[in-house]
Chains A and B, each alone.
Chain A
Amino acid sequence: MVKDDGIASETSMKALNIVILASIFILAFGVRLFAVIRYESVIHEFDPYFNYRATIYLIENGFEKFQNWFDDRTWYPIGRIVGGTLFPGLMTTAAILFKVLNYFHIFISIRDTCVFLAPFMAGLTAITAYFFGKDMRDDRTGLLAALLMALVPAYISRSVAGSYDNEAVSIFALLFAYLLWIKAVRHGSVLLAALTAAAYFYMAASWGAYVFIINLVPLYTLVSVLVGRYSVRLHVAYTTFYVLGIVMTMQIPFINYQPIQSAEHLAAAGIFVFMQGIGVLRYLSSRLPEHDLRRVFRNVGLTAVIGFFAVTVALELSGFVTPWSGRFKSFLDPTYAKAHIPIIASVSEHQPTTWGSFFFDLHILAFLVPAGVYFALDGLTDTNLFVLLYGVCAVYFSGVMIRMMLILAPVSCLLGALALSRVLDSLTTAVRSRINAKDVKAVVGAAAALVFLVGLLVSFTRHSVWATSEAYSSPSVVLMANTPTGRVVFDDFREAYSWLDHNTAEDAKVMSWWDYGYQLAQMSNRTTIVDNNTWNNTHIAMVGRAFAQNEDDAIVTIRLLDVDYVLVVFGGLVGYSSDDINKFLWMVRIGGGEFGGVHEQDYFNSRGQYTVDKSVSKTMRDSLMYRLCFHRFGEVVTDRRFPGGFDRVRNVEIGDKDIKLKHFEEVFTSQHWMVRIYKVKLENNW
Chain B
Amino acid sequence: MAETSDNINLWPLFTTVLASFVPKKLTISRRTPRWMRIFKKKPNAIVIWALVCVTYFAMAGGIIYDVLNKPPAIGQTRDPYNPDIVRTQFIFPRMNAQYRNEGFTASGLFILGGLGIMILFVASSARLPAALEGKRPFFVAFGPILTYGVFAAVRAMYRKKFATYMK
CB-based nearest A residue for B61: A355
Q: Is the CB of A463 within 8 A of B137?
A: no
Known: A334-B68, A357-B96; 19 extra A-B contacts, CB below 8 A, are A352-B68, A354-B62, A355-B102, A355-B103, A356-B158, A358-B107, A366-B60, A367-B150, A369-B114, A371-B121, A374-B46, A374-B49, A380-B45, A395-B59, A419-B114, A442-B137, A449-B143, A449-B144, A459-B167
Shortest beta-carbon distance, A336 to chain B, in Å? 10
- Shortest B23–chain A CB gap in Å is 16
Interchain residue pairs with CB less than 8 A apart (27): A335-B68, A338-B68, A348-B96, A352-B65, A352-B68, A355-B98, A356-B98, A360-B95, A364-B151, A366-B60, A367-B150, A370-B52, A371-B114, A373-B114, A377-B48, A392-B52, A395-B59, A396-B55, A399-B63, A426-B125, A429-B125, A430-B125, A449-B124, A452-B148, A453-B144, A456-B147, A456-B151
Contact A353 B65 (CB under 8 A): yes
Within 8 A of B (CB), among A349-393: 351-360, 364, 366-375, 377-378, 380, 388, 391-392
CB of A402 closer than 8 Å to a CB of B: yes
The contact string, 1 if C-beta is below 8 Å from chain A, for chain B 50-80, is 0011011011111111011100000000000
The answer to whether B166 and A446 touch across the interface, beta carbons within 8 angstroms, is no
Where the two chains meet, the residues of A that have a C-beta atom closer than 8 Å to any C-beta of B are 298, 334-335, 338, 348, 351-360, 364, 366-375, 377-378, 380, 388, 391-392, 395-396, 398-400, 402, 419, 422-423, 426-427, 429-430, 441-442, 445-446, 448-449, 452-453, 456, 459, 462-463, 466, 470
The answer on a CB contact under 8 Å between A422 and B121 is yes
CB of B141 within 8 Å of the partner chain:
yes
A402 CA to B116 CA, complexed, in Å: 28
| Contact (Cβ within 8 A) B53 A462 | no
Measured in the bound complex, the distance between the Cα atoms of B121 and A371 in whole Å is 10
Cβ distance B32 to chain A, nearest Cβ, rounded Å: 13
Q: Are A374 and B114 in contact (CB under 8 A)?
A: yes
Q: Closest residue to A365 on the B side, CB-wise?
A: B110
- Pair A399/B167 contact, Cβ less than 8 Å: no
CB distance A359 to B158 under 8 Å? yes
Which of chain B's residues have a CB closer than 8 A to the CB of A359?
106, 154, 158
Let me know if B167 and A398 touch, CB within 8 A: no
Q: Known interface pairs A354-B95, A442-B137, A445-B141. Does A395 touch B60 (Cβ–Cβ under 8 Å)?
A: yes
Q: How far is the CB of A82 from chain B (nearest CB, A)?
A: 33
B45 neighbours in A (Cβ, 8 Å): 374, 377-378, 380
Q: In the complex, which residues 85-144 of chain B have their Cβ closer than 8 Å to any Cβ of chain A?
A: 95-98, 102-103, 106-107, 110-111, 113-118, 120-121, 124-125, 136-137, 140-141, 143-144
Tell whether B19 is near chain A: CB-to-CB under 8 Å.
no
Q: Contact at B150–A430, with CB atoms within 8 Å?
A: no
Nearest CB of B to A463, in Å: 6
Establish whether residues B68 and A356, one from each chain, have CB atoms under 8 Å apart when the complex forms. no
Q: How far is the CA of A463 from the CA of B28 in the complex (A)?
A: 60
Contact, CB under 8 Å: B120 / A423? yes
- Name the B residues within 8 Å of A360 (CB-CB): 95, 158, 162
Contact A370 B111 (CB under 8 A): yes
A423 B96 Cβ-Cβ under 8 A: no
B141 — which chain A residues lie within 8 A by C-beta?
A: 445, 448-449
User: In the assembled complex, which residues on chain A have CB atoms less than 8 Å from the CB atom of B118?
Assistant: 371, 374
Per the bound structure, the CA–CA distance linking A459 and B136 in Å amounts to: 27
Contact A370 B53 (CB under 8 A): yes
Question: B69 — which chain A residues lie within 8 A by C-beta?
Answer: 352
When the two chains form the complex, which single residue of B55, B68, B107, B125 contacts A355, counting CB atoms closer than 8 Å? B107
B138 to chain A, nearest CB (A): 10
Closest to A453 in B: B144
Within the complex, the shortest CB–CB distance from A398 to chain B, in Å, comes to 7
Chain A residues positioned under 8 Å from B154 (CB to CB) = 359
Q: How far is the CA of A213 from the CA of B68 in the complex (A)?
A: 27
* With known contacts A377-B45, A445-B137, A355–B121 Cβ distance under 8 A: no
Known: A368-B117, A422-B121, A426-B125. A395 touches B48 (CB 8 A): no
Residue of A nearest to B39 (CB): A226
Q: How far is the CA of A449 from the CA of B117 in the complex (A)?
A: 10
A354 touches B120 (CB 8 A): no
Task: Specify which chain A residues have a CB less than 8 angstroms from the CB of B52 in the assembled complex.
Answer: 370, 373, 388, 391-392
Residues of B within 8 A of A338 (CB): 68
Which residues of chain B are within 8 angstroms of A446 by Cβ–Cβ distance? 124, 140
Please indicate the chain A residues that have their CB under 8 angstroms from the CB of B68 in the complex.
Answer: 334-335, 338, 352
Q: Could you tell me if B56 and A367 are in contact, using CB atoms closer than 8 angstroms?
A: no
